[in-house]
Structure 1
Amino acid sequence: MFMKSLRSLFALLVIPLMLSMGLGLSASAMAADDQTSQQQAATNDADLWRAVKAGDSGYTVAKGIETGVLINVIGNEGKIVRNEYLTPVMGITVVGVFAAFLFFYLVNGPSKLSKGFSGKMVLRWSKADLWIHWVLATSCLALIFTGLNIMLGKHVLQPYVGEGLWAGLIYGSKTIHDWVGPIFIVSWILCVVKWMPMQTFKMYDLKWFLVVGGYINFGPFKGKHPDSGFANAGEKMWFWTLTLFGLFIAASGLMLVLPGLDLPREASMAALLIHSISAIIIIAFTIVHIWMATVLSEGGMECMVSGYCDENWAVQHHNLWYDELKDSNSIVYKD
Structure 2
Amino acid sequence: MNKLFTRIGLALVLLFSTLSFAADNATHEQPVGNDALWAQLQDGATGYTTSHSEFHNMPINSYDLRVLELRSDWLAPGLMAALFGMIVIFALFIMVNGISKLHHGFSGKMVQRWSKFDISIHWLGAIPCLTLILTGLTLLAGRFFLQPYVSEGFWASFVYLAKQIHNVMAFPFMIGWLLMTCLWAKNQLPKMYDLKWFLVVGGYINFGPFKGKHPDSGFANAGEKMWFWTFALFGLVISASGLLLIFPNVFEPSRTLSLISLILHAVSAIIICAFSIVHIFMATVMSEGGMECMVSGYCDENWATQHHNLWYDEIKANGTLKYRD
Equivalence for 1:107: 96
Equivalence for 1:260: 250
CA distances 1:150-189 after superposition (whole Å, capped 9, x unpaired) = 1111111111112222122111100000011011001110
1:127 aligns with 2:106: no
Aligned equivalents of 1:98, 1:310: Cα separation in 2: 27
Aligned length: 286
Q: 1:306: how far off?
A: 0.6
Aligned equivalents of 1:300, 1:74: Cα separation in 2: 51
Equivalence for 1:334: 324
Q: Which letter does structure 2 place at the counterpart of 1:330?
A: T
* Contact 1:229–1:318 (CA under 8 A) maintained in structure 2: yes
Identity among equivalent positions (%) equals 55
SS in 1 for 2:111: strand
Q: 1:330: how far off?
A: 1.8
1:283 aligns with 2:273: yes
Q: 1:195 aligns with which of 172, 184, 187?
A: 184
Equivalence for 1:152: 141
Q: 1:303: how far off?
A: 0.6
Aligned-residue CA RMSD in angstroms?
Answer: 2.0
Equivalence for 1:17: none
Aligned equivalents of 2:269, 2:242: Cα separation in 1: 11
Q: How does 1:16-55 map to 2 (within 5 A)?
A: 53=42
SS in 2 for 1:309: strand
* Contact 2:47–2:58 (CA under 8 A) maintained in structure 1: no
Q: Which letter does structure 2 place at the counterpart of 1:277?
A: V
1:176 aligns with 2:168: no
Q: 1:59: how far off?
A: 6.5
Aligned equivalents of 1:211, 1:78: Cα separation in 2: 41
Aligned equivalents of 1:283, 1:68: Cα separation in 2: 37
Unmatched segments (≥5 aa) in structure 1: 1-48
Aligned equivalents of 1:59, 1:93: Cα separation in 2: 40
Equivalence for 1:269: 259
Equivalence for 2:127: 138
> Which stretch of structure 1 is more off in the superposition, 68-77 or 176-185?
68-77
Equivalence for 1:216: 205
Equivalence for 1:292: 282
Aligned equivalents of 1:329, 1:261: Cα separation in 2: 51
Q: 1:88: how far off?
A: 1.5
With over 3 angstroms needed to count, the CA separation of the structure-2 counterparts of 1:74 and 1:61, relative to structure 1, is closer
Which of these two proteins has the greater Rg computed from alpha carbons?
1
Unmatched segments (≥5 aa) in structure 2: 1-37
Aligned equivalents of 2:204, 2:47: Cα separation in 1: 65
Q: 1:93: how far off?
A: 2.1
Q: Which letter does structure 2 place at the counterpart of 1:183?
A: P
* Contact 1:75–1:265 (CA under 8 A) maintained in structure 2: no
Q: Which letter does structure 1 place at the counterpart of 2:148?
A: P
Aligned equivalents of 2:212, 2:225: Cα separation in 1: 22
SS in 1 for 2:324: coil
Query: TM-score, normalised to structure 2's length?
Result: 0.84
Equivalence for 2:215: 226
